Amino acid sequence: MPTVLITGGHGGIGLECSKYLASHYRINLLLAGRNLERVELAARELMETYGINVNTLQLDTSSLVSVRSAAERCRAMLDDGTIDHLQAILCNAGARIEAHSQTADGYEETFATNHLGHFLLLELLIDRLAENGRVVFTASGTHDPETMDGKLVGAAVEPDALALANDGKEGRKPTSAGKRYSTSKLCNILTAYELARRLRRSGSAIVSIAFDPGSTAGSGFLRGMPRPVRWLSKTAFFGWLQRRLGITMGSLEFSGSSLAKLAVDPVFADAFGKYFQSNDGRLIEARSSKTSYDEGRAFKLWHGSKQLVHLQPGEEPALLSIESQGVL
Ligand SMILES: NC(=O)c1ccc[n+]([C@@H]2O[C@H](COP(=O)([O-])OP(=O)(O)OC[C@H]3O[C@@H](n4cnc5c(N)ncnc54)[C@H](OP(=O)(O)O)[C@@H]3O)[C@@H](O)[C@H]2O)c1
């Protein structure tokens, strides 16, 4: 039976995606999250409700040690048959982190949580993905400064891995929470496209997709915001206002089911390096920001990310290594 690994699959959009995968595709799940108690609770409920197999992984995407040990555990599950077939990896966990902070690895937390942890997870697991498998990144329309989503949150800055990891260090003024978030989502999209190019070059049929769920009320996403903002976000007035402003509008159920479809539905089997948005009840292919298509920036981000996660020589699978692909 195919299994989908989803980070943050126990809450918000991720949980709706998990439910849809279970109910509509009978897919087994591997839920990965930092709080194992919460993850296991969701796993039990999904198993009881849908009769599928759900395994769990302790994974804090902001910690390189945690990502490495989760990847090792996942590989062991595949080796001992706990999971027999990894069909997709959904890089869905993410947060807008209000306070400027650093991880135990010494990196800015939003960048580490939303981009770097997923980057390392993929490096360590992509060679165990099914030949026709998929990787989907839950990105965000806020990555594009030309859109109203991007304008309201704050324009993404240069996606330079080393600069982003060291944001606010040595007396430099930290980037605002909104900009740190939109930039981390730009990194997700640049990585999705660079991954698609590398997979294509190595002859792999694995599909890499970027997804914007749209502004989605009711998830835990705004938990760091002041109470009045959280309250307002759930009102019909706020929905009306966002529509008037031209913001991409998701909903928990629709955005979750869209992510599930992108992960496994045959309709998206050829969606190599594409970007999709769920907007007002429609799942549509769209153009992401101009910067997100810049191959030079994507290459540089990949290279810098590799340095930051301390990938050992020879550790990058041949599927992703440009050296093996004869590019260098
Ligand atoms: N809601 C929106 O309006 C919106 C719009 C565009 C894009 N998105 C993106 O959609 C994705 C899902 O967000 P959501 O709206 O469903 O919010 P959510 O309910 O807060 O879900 C986020 C998930 O990510 C997990 N997570 C956060 N930090 C983590 C870490 N360091 N390690 C492991 N897991 C971590 C959370 O786990 P915990 O339970 O441990 O916190 C949670 O399961 C995110 O990538 C977000 O950026 C959301």
CATH number of 3-308: 3.40.50.720
User: Which residue has the CA at smallest separation from atom 2 of ligand 1?
Assistant: 216
Q: How far is the CA of 278 from the centre of ligand 1 (A)?
A: 16
Amino acid at 100: H
Q: Which of 50, 181, 193, 275 is catalytic?
A: 181
Q: Give 221 or 265, the one with higher predicted confidence.
A: 265
The structure's pTM equals 0.96
User: Which residue has the CA at smallest separation from atom 17 of ligand 1?
Assistant: 221
Q: Give 94 or 236, the one with higher predicted confidence.
A: 94
- Atom number in ligand 1 closest to CA 9: 43
pLDDT at residue 231, as a whole number:
86
User: Which residue has the CA at smallest separation from atom 26 of ligand 1?
Assistant: 93
List Cα–Cα distances, 172 to 14, 166, 213, 234, 277, in angstroms: 35, 10, 33, 36, 35
Distance CA 69, CA 66 (A): 5
User: Which residue has the CA at smallest separation from atom 8 of ligand 1?
Assistant: 140
Q: How far is the CA of 221 from the centre of ligand 1 (A)?
A: 6
- Atom number in ligand 1 closest to CA 114: 45
The first and second tokens of residue 235, run together, are 């009102």
- Atom number in ligand 1 closest to CA 10: 43
Edge-first strand order for the sheet with 28-33 is: 54-58, 28-33, 3-7, 86-91, 129-138, 207-212, 274-279, 282-286
pLDDT at residue 218, as a whole number:
85
User: Which residue has the CA at smallest separation from atom 46 of ligand 1?
Assistant: 94
pLDDT at residue 219, as a whole number:
87
The confidence band for 238, taking pLDDT boundaries of 50, 70 and 90, is confident
Q: Does the pLDDT of residue 166 top 90, yes or no?
A: yes
Residue 89: exposure state from Cβ atoms within 10 A (0-12, 13-18, ≥19)? buried
Q: Give 326 or 251, the one with higher predicted confidence.
A: 251
User: Which residue has the CA at smallest separation from atom 5 of ligand 1?
Assistant: 215
Q: Provide, for the chain, the percentages of residues in helix, strand and coil under a 3-state DSSP scheme, each rounded to the nearest 5.
A: 45, 15, 35
Cβ within 8 Å of residue 171, ≥6 positions away = none
pLDDT at residue 313, as a whole number:
82
Distance CA 273, CA 278 (A): 17
pLDDT at residue 327, as a whole number:
65
Which residues in the chain belong to E strands, given as ranges?
Answer: 3-7, 28-33, 54-58, 86-91, 129-138, 207-212, 274-279, 282-286
pLDDT at residue 226, as a whole number:
82
Q: Does the pLDDT of residue 230 top 90, yes or no?
A: no
pLDDT at residue 229, as a whole number:
81
Ligand 1 pocket test: which of 20, 216, 223 has the largest number of ligand atoms within 8 Å of its C-beta? 216
Average pLDDT value for residue range 258-263:
98
Distance CA 138, CA 90 (A): 8
- Atom number in ligand 1 closest to CA 112: 31
pLDDT at residue 143, as a whole number:
98
pLDDT tens by residue, 72-130 = 999 999 999 999 899 999 999 999 999 999 999 999 999 999 999 999 999 999 999 99
Torsion sign across C-alpha atoms 78, 194, 19, 12: positive
By C-alpha distance, which of 258, 259, 318, 263 is closest to 282?
258
Mean pLDDT, the chain, integer: 95
- Atom number in ligand 1 closest to CA 216: 3
What residues are in contact with ligand 1 under a 6 Å CB criterion?
7-8, 10-14, 33-35, 38, 59-62, 92-95, 113, 138, 140, 213, 215-216, 219-221
Ligand 1 pocket test: which of 221, 277, 288 has the largest number of ligand atoms within 8 Å of its C-beta? 221
Could you tell me how far CA 31 lies from the centroid of its own chain? 14
Q: Does the pLDDT of residue 326 top 80, yes or no?
A: no
List Cα–Cα distances, 313 to 204, 258, 321, 323, in angstroms: 22, 37, 11, 11
Q: How far is the CA of 113 from the centre of ligand 1 (A)?
A: 10
- Under 8 Å between Cβ of 283 and 218: no
Could you tell me how far CA 281 lies from the centroid of its own chain? 21
Q: How far is the CA of 153 from the centre of ligand 1 (A)?
A: 16
User: Ramachandran region of residue 325, left (φ > 0), alpha (ψ -120 to 50) or beta?
Assistant: alpha
pLDDT at residue 324, as a whole number:
66
User: Which residue has the CA at smallest separation from atom 24 of ligand 1?
Assistant: 93
Distance CA 67, CA 214 (A): 27
By C-alpha distance, which of 279, 278, 265, 219 is closest to 16?
219
Q: Does the pLDDT of residue 328 top 80, yes or no?
A: no
Does residue 181 have an active-site annotation? yes
Cβ within 8 Å of residue 78, ≥6 positions away = 84, 86, 128
